[in-house]
Amino acid sequence: MNRLLKVNKSEDIPEIYQNTPISELLEYHNLGKEFKEYSNAQLLIGMCMDNRKKLRIPENFAYVIRTGGGNLRYSEFKVSFAIAVGDVNYIALIGHNHCNMVNIFSKKDKFISGLVERAGWDPERAEEHFVNFAPMFEIDNEIDFTLNEARRIRIKYPKIHIVPLHYLVEDNKIYLIQE
């Protein structure tokens, strides 16, 4: 957690992000900044689908893609669309602690039984589904994954500002990840 930079006031935001959509995101969510009106998205936010996280941002402020672990690898067309058609120049990647994509293989039995009981799948199909897809979404460490995902996306979109962030479930705040 020593890699996380708290944002408790505007002055905590590094100069590189001052007066950017990233500073606005942090000020809206963490500092309760009064909402402005937007007619166009200012950035793309990639974050986990986890139900424990809710961002405090104004309408029309951002495109938001929510996927398991905030993994954008299988959402690249949507990322490209936000950049090419939506004119965004910033991507905020928001990982979070206590992510259920960490050690996903420990949840295999629950996953299979849940699909059998709730979705009506047969056990063999549910297991095959897990085995085929779990490796794509496994995360070892939330902060490291977010940093690696930011690096990967920077290679693909070199002119776009990719900013790794971390959401702490306990205090519902977004932190900058120091690289």
Q: Is 46 left (phi over 0), alpha (psi -120 to 50) or beta?
A: beta
Q: What tokens were used for 36?
A: 């402005």
Q: Which residue has the tokens 């969510």?
A: 29
pLDDT in tens, 4-39: 999 999 999 999 999 999 999 999 999 999 999 999
For residue 11, give every residue at least 6 positions away whose Cβ sits within 8 Å of its Cβ, in sequence order, or none: none
Question: In the beta sheet, which residues pair with residue 62?
Answer: 43
Q: Which residue has the tokens 């290679």?
A: 155
Looking at the domain covering 4-99+141-177, what would its CATH class be?
Answer: alpha beta
Q: Within 10 A of 25 (CB to CB), how many other CB atoms are there?
A: 28
Q: What tokens were used for 67?
A: 């996927």
Q: What is the pTM of this model?
A: 0.94
Whether residue 173 is predicted with pLDDT greater than 70 in this model: the reply is yes
Band (pLDDT 50/70/90 cuts) for residue 90 is very high
Q: How far apart are CA 57 and CA 29, in angstroms?
A: 6
**Residue 78 and residue 65 in contact, taking contact as beta carbons nearer than 8 Å:** yes
pLDDT of residue 2: 83
**Domain limits, the chain:** 4-99+141-177, 103-138
